[in-house]
């Protein structure tokens, strides 16, 4: 039975842009408080728009800063504007929770920001690197293990009975965008594995495959789940980076170099912008793709990595070397229907057995923490009449704002969000 929690005013901030292009895993994370606890006064706001004054006037008990909101650290002008527009958060007595991703990217900037705003709790996906990523917050703030994605009740229901393997039309699938070189060779592997796998297969392969890293082939929303559900196997690599860029220097160098050398390969960029730095530090974790594939009982052909210690080779996935040199062994395994079925089922069971991977559990933890801190700080109970009036006005304002979101701005917003944020 859910513990009793008083009514709370919750503000959740994101910057996902045009809803038509939202990735399901990101949406599920950014909207998890509202989805799991609809009885709360939860406002999920896109910080691309100013927060209306009538919402600033509310007494918030909990403020949640989502990963896309925290991506504003990647550009000095964006960070300055965000810190100015939302400076009331720094002075707010509300419990503040941050859900960053890609912590290794502008880590010192993020550490300063969250510490300046007196964030109460940070959920990060790299538990063995907290002291490196958050030297200030590690001393002054609470840091807990988080993940790049969580298992929602909707996901559980939709994949309660995945499509039978024999009915799936694809043998191997994959989608990835080309990440900037500032994520190191681990980031580059995410898109390079596609070409390497296809090359290793050769032109004579009879496998039915749908593998692409082209921008126009990206699959948004729940269509991605349909795609996964129709795949017997999928390629995967560890999510993360093999570079630490605390002050955004590597990113700036990479962008400048690529601007003047648009056809440069990764090795050229590395030699110019971060020689001998790649793989000195490796930050990796399980990705939403790993979770979704497990739920769909899609066998993962995965390159070596720790996968947050939740997946083991040949038990939970088929090991695929980074250079695909073991392609013959991989093909032999995926041709073994019985073995693939066992791998898929074990991986799913392992994911479902992890309480901290359940979205409802982490939401309950955050909400209960928020209620506790709000009570200790004497934040008054909501004036429900005032809140209801503000929520009603906000819903109308959101519709108006979206209608004013011109086609040109939508396209600009989409491209900007793609280039400043990875997948997680």
- Under CATH, what is the fold of the domain 9-149+358-420? Rossmann fold (3.40.50)
End-to-end CA distance of the chain: 32
105 exposure class (CB count in 10 Å sphere: 0-12, 13-18, 19+): buried
Say how far apart CA 37 and CA 17 lie, in whole Å: 23
Radius of gyration, CA atoms only, the chain = 22
Phi-psi region for residue 281, left (φ > 0), alpha (ψ -120 to 50) or beta?
beta
- Judge whether residue 68 has pLDDT over 50: yes
Q: What percent of the chain has pLDDT over 90?
A: 85
- Judge whether residue 280 has pLDDT over 80: yes
Q: What is the mean pLDDT of residues 19-47?
A: 93
Say how far apart CA 115 and CA 96 lie, in whole Å: 11
Per-residue pLDDT at 407: 46
Task: Determine which of 103-107, 114-118, 374-378, 416-420 has the lowest per-residue pLDDT on average.
Answer: 416-420
Task: Determine which of 78-87, 88-97, 287-296, 393-402 has the lowest per-residue pLDDT on average.
Answer: 393-402
Q: What is the mean pLDDT of residues 44-71?
A: 95
Strands 209-212 and 283-285: unpaired
The torsion angles phi and psi of 234, rounded to 5 degrees, stand at -145, 150
Domain 9-149+358-420 and domain 153-352, same fold? Reply is: yes
- Angle CA(57)–CA(63)–CA(69) in degrees, nearest 5? 105
In contact, 422 and 179? CB cutoff 8 Å: yes
Say how far apart CA 154 and CA 259 lie, in whole Å: 42
Domain boundaries, the chain: 9-149+358-420, 153-352
- Judge whether residue 357 has pLDDT over 60: yes
Contacting residues for 363 by C-beta, under 8 A, at least 6 apart = 32, 33, 36, 37
- Judge whether residue 4 has pLDDT over 80: no
Say how far apart CA 209 and CA 222 lie, in whole Å: 20
Instruction: Annotate 387-424 with DSSP letters as a single string.
Output: HHHHHHHHHHHHHHHHHTS-HHHHHHHHHHHHHH----
Contacting residues for 302 by C-beta, under 8 A, at least 6 apart = 235, 236, 237, 290, 311, 313, 317, 318, 319, 320
Per-residue pLDDT at 257: 97
Per-residue pLDDT at 182: 95
Contacting residues for 246 by C-beta, under 8 A, at least 6 apart = 106, 107, 108, 109
pLDDT tens, residue by residue, 94-114: 999 999 999 999 999 999 999
Per-residue pLDDT at 215: 87
Chain-centre distance for alpha carbon 261? 30
Say how far apart CA 140 and CA 134 lie, in whole Å: 10
Q: What is the mean pLDDT of residues 230-251?
A: 97
- Judge whether residue 413 has pLDDT over 60: no
DSSP category for residue 354: -
Give whole-number Cα distances, 358 to 152, 296, 345, in Å: 6, 16, 18
Dihedral of the alpha carbons of 168, 171, 175, 178, in degrees to the nearest 10: 180
pTM recorded for the entire structure: 0.90
CATH 1.20.1740 assigned to 153-352: no
Per-residue pLDDT at 5: 66
Say how far apart CA 51 and CA 230 lie, in whole Å: 41
Per-residue pLDDT at 128: 85
Q: What is the mean pLDDT of residues 406-424?
A: 44
pLDDT tens, residue by residue, 126-185: 888 999 999 999 999 999 999 999 999 999 999 999 999 999 999 999 999 888 999 999
* β-strand partners of 248: none
Give the helix ranges, DSSP H, for 126-210: 130-133, 137-140, 153-158, 184-201
Q: What is the mean pLDDT of residues 84-100?
A: 96
The pLDDT mean for the chain works out to 92
Strands 121-124 and 142-145: parallel
């Amino acid at each position: 039975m859910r513990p009793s929690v008083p009514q709370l005013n919750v503000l959740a901030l994101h910057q996902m842009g045009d809803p038509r292009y939202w990735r399901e895993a990101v949406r599920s994370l950014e909207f998890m408080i509202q989805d799991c606890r609809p009885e709360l006064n939860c406002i999920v706001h896109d910080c691309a728009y100013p927060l209306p004054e009538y919402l600033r006037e509310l007494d918030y008990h909990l403020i949640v800063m989502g990963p896309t909101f925290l991506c504003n650290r990647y550009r000095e002008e964006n960070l300055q504007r965000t810190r100015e527009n939302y400076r009331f958060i720094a002075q707010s007595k509300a419990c503040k929770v941050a859900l960053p991703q890609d912590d290794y990217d502008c880590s010192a900037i993020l550490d300063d920001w969250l510490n300046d705003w007196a964030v109460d709790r940070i959920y990060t996906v790299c538990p063995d690197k907290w002291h490196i990523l958050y030297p200030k917050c590690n001393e002054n703030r609470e840091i807990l293990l988080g993940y790049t994605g969580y298992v929602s009740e909707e996901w559980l229901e939709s994949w309660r009975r995945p499509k039978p393997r024999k009915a799936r039309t694809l043998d191997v699938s994959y989608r990835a965008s080309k990440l900037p070189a500032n994520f190191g060779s681990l980031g580059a592997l995410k898109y390079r594995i596609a070409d390497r796998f296809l090359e290793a297969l050769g032109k004579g392969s009879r496998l039915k495959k749908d593998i692409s890293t082209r921008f126009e082939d990206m699959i948004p929303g729940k269509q991605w789940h349909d795609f996964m559900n129709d795949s017997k196997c999928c390629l995967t690599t560890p999510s993360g980076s093999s570079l630490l860029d605390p002050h955004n220097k590597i990113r700036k160098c990479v962008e400048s170099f690529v601007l003047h050398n648009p056809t440069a390969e990764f090795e050229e960029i590395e030699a110019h912008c971060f020689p001998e730095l790649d793989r000195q530090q490796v930050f990796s974790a399980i990705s939403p793709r790993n979770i979704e594939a497990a739920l769909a009982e899609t066998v993962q052909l995965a390159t070596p990595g720790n996968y947050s210690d939740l997946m083991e080779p040949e038990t939970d996935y088929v090991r695929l070397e980074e250079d695909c040199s073991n392609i013959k062994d991989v093909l032999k395994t995926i041709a073994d229907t019985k073995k693939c079925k066992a791998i898929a089922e074990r991986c799913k069971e392992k994911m479902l057995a992890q309480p901290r991977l359940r979205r409802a559990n982490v939401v309950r933890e955050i909400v209960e923490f928020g209620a506790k801190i709000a009570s200790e700080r004497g934040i008054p109970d909501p004036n429900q009449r005032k809140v209801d009036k503000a929520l009603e006005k906000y819903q109308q304002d959101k519709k108006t704002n979206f209608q004013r979101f011109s086609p040109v701005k939508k396209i600009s917003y989409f491209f900007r969000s793609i280039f400043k944020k990875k997948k997680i």
